[in-house]
A and B are shown apart, each in its own frame.
Chain A
C-alpha cells in the first residue's frame, strides 16, 4: 500500500481536518446516489415483500406469488439454464478455436453483441424469427419448405433462448478467451504432438484448465439472464409461461400489488446470490 499520507502528517490538526472533509466531499456524492437509489430501494423491496398494503407483517405475498407463479419460476430457471449451457458451450468451442487459429474476423463478429442494446437484440430476434419473419421468408424462398408450415419461434421459448444466448455470447467469449490465452502454448503443443486433435485440446485441456473463469462467467451470465427485463419485454407475449421479470412488471403496473412485486423481486435476488457471493469474495481478497 503506497502511503502518500506521511508527507503531510506534520502539518498539524487543522490541515488533517481539512483533508478529512475533502475526502468526505470526494466520496460522499457518488456513494449517496448509489445508497439512496439502489441500496435503500433494495432494502425497501426486502421489507415490502413481507408487508401488506396496510403495513402489517405477513407471508401472504409469498404465498400468493408462489401459488400464482411457480410455473413461471420454473420456466425462468429452465430458460436461463438452457441458455447458459448453450452460451458456455458455444463460447468455449469458439474461444478454443480462436486460441488455436487466431482469426480476427470471427473474433470481431462475436464482439458485436456486446455493444448491441438488449432492446435491439429483442427486436432483431423478433423480426428475424417471427412466423412471418425474415428467416422464414428466406427458408420459403429456397423453395424447399412450404411457407405456411414453417414454425415461428419468436414468441416462444426458442426465441427467448436465442436472444439471451446471442446477447451474452460477446461477454462470455471475452472472458473465456482471456483464460484460454493465458494457457501456456507448450502444454498445448505437447498434447498436439502426442496426437490430440483440436476438439480434444479444447475439451480435455483448455476447459479443465480454465474451469475457474468459466464458472465465474457462468454465474455472472446466469444472474444477468434471470434479472433481464428488456429481452422478454421485447419478445412479448409467449401466451403461456412468462419470465419472472415480466410477472413482476405486470404485478406492479397492472395489478398495482407492490407486495407481490417485491416478493417476486426477492425471489430473483435469491436466484442471483451466486453473483453476490462472488463479489463479496472479490472484496475480501483485495
Chain B
C-alpha cells in the first residue's frame, strides 16, 4: 500500500504529473472574482468564504479523472486488481495520493487567497481548519465518481455531474465554519458536522468505489 502511495506521489511530481496545477487554478479563480464583483472590501468580504470553498471544489474536480483513468489505460488497474492488496485499499490509497497532491497544497495556499479576497484575519485559522477537515472527503468522493466513470470514453463531464451534487453537504458546512469564524461566532457545530461527513465518507465510500471499479474492470 505504501509503495502504491509512493509511486502515485512520484508520478504526480514528475513531468506531466500536473502537481500544483490545482493551486494555480485556484489562484486564477481568486484573481478573477474581483474583476467580476469589483474590488471593494464590502463586496469581497461577504462572498470570500463561498468563493474559497467553491474554488477548492473546482480545483479538486480538475484532476479527478486522472485518479483511475491513467492506470486503466496502461493496464495497471488490472494488475492491481489481481494483487494481494484489496481493491478498497487501492481506492483509499489513490484518494489519499490525490488529496496530498491537490487538497493539501490548497489548504496550505488558502490563507494567501483569503488575503486576496479580504477575508478577515480572525477567519484565517478557520479557513485552514475547514479545508483541512473537508478536502479529504472531496478526494474520496471524487475517487468514487472516477471509479464509476473510468471505463467511459468521455467520462470527464459526466464525472462532474455525478460528483458535484455529492459535494453539497461538505460545501455547506465548510463555508459555514469560515463565516462563523469571520463573525467571531462559534464554529464548533459545523466543524463537528463536517468532520462527521469526512469520517463517514472516508470509512464507507471506498467500498462503493471498489465495487464500481470491479464492475468496470470486467
The reply to whether chain A is a binding partner of chain B is: no
